[in-house]
Amino acid sequence: RVLGGCPAKARGSVVLVDKMADANARMAAVDPRRRVDRSKYVDPEMPEFPGAVFINHIGCRTAQVGAGIGCLVLAPVAWMRSPKGTSLVRGVMPRVGGRMLVLGYLGGCAGAAGMAVYGKGKSPFDQDGIDDRAYRIVKNEKLQNAGNFMSAGAVTGVLLHGGPGGAAVGVTAGTLAMAWAYAAMPIIRTKYWPASKPALVSALKSAGVDVGSLTTGGTPPAKNK
C-alpha cells in the first residue's frame, strides 16, 4: 500500500525519526549543563543554567512532598509496628523520611526528563520555553521563600541528626513552619484576632496588666509601695 507516494513502512520510519529528533531537541533544552544565551536576555538575574534550575525545582518540590508523606504518614504507621521504646522522631522518622526524600527528588528529576521526552507540560519544551520557566522560578518570591524554609529546615536537620534522614525531618518541619507563616497566621490576624482581641484585652486589664505597654512598647508604671 502507498501513502502520499511513499510505502507505509517508509512513512512510519520517517515519522519515528522526526519524533526522535524532536525528543532530542527537548532533552537538549532541559540539559542541566546547557548555558543560557546571554545575548537574548538583558536581566542579569537570568539563570546561567536554565535546565538545571527547572529540573532542580521539580526535584525539590517532589522531595518536599516525599519527605512530608514519609515523616507524617508512613513513619507513624511504621512506628506503631516497631518494638516498644523505639523513638518516632529520632528513629523512625529519619529512616522512613530520608528514603522518601531521596526517592522524591530522583523521581521528580526523572519525571521532568520524561515530560521533556514526550513534550508534556505547562511550558514549551524548547530552549526559549525552559529559559522562560527558569526565569519565572527565580523571580517568583513565594517559590523562593518556600525554598528558603525548605533549605533552612534541611540544613538544621542535617546538623542535628545527619544524613538524608535529618534533612527529611528538617524539610518537613520547614514546610510546616512555612504553612503556619503564610497560611495560618494571615487567617488568624484577619479573621480570629479581631474577634478575640476585645475579650483578651479586657481579661488583661482585669488582671492589672498595662495593656498600653504591650502595644506601644512603653514601660509599665511603677507600683506604689
Each residue's pLDDT tens digit, 152-197: 999 999 998 889 999 999 999 999 998 888 878 778 878 777 888 7
pLDDT of residue 7: 60
Lowest mean pLDDT among 4-13, 121-130, 166-175: 4-13
Q: Give CA separation, 111 vs 7, 21, 53, 99, in Å.
A: 36, 20, 15, 18
Question: How far does the chain reach from its first CA to its final CA, in angstroms?
Answer: 110
pLDDT of residue 218: 44
CB 157 within 8 A of CB 171: yes
pLDDT of residue 94: 94
Q: How far apart are CA 177 and CA 171, in angstroms?
A: 10
Q: What percent of the chain has pLDDT above 90?
A: 41
Question: Strand (E) positions, the chain?
Answer: 2-3, 6-7
Beta pairing partners, 6:
3
pLDDT band with cut points at 50, 70 and 90 for residue 104: very high
Cα angle, residue 193 at apex, residues 187 and 198 outer, rounded to 5°: 165
Query: Between 218 and 76, whose confidence is greater?
Result: 76
pLDDT band with cut points at 50, 70 and 90 for residue 135: very high
Of 98, 179, 100, 188, the residue nearest 145 (C-alpha): 179
Residues 6+ apart with CB under 8 A from 177: 149, 153
Query: Between 100 and 126, whose confidence is greater?
Result: 100
Residues 6+ apart with CB under 8 A from 123: 129, 130, 132, 133
Q: What mean pLDDT comes out for the span 1-12?
A: 53
pLDDT of residue 137: 93
Q: How far apart are CA 65 and CA 186, in angstroms?
A: 23
Q: Is a pLDDT exceeding 70 seen at residue 1? A: no
Q: Is a pLDDT exceeding 60 seen at residue 205? A: yes
Q: How far apart are CA 184 and CA 162, in angstroms?
A: 30
Q: What mean pLDDT comes out for the span 141-151?
A: 89
Q: Is a pLDDT exceeding 60 seen at residue 40? A: yes
pLDDT of residue 108: 94
Grid cell listed for 81: 509496628
CB 116 within 8 A of CB 29: yes
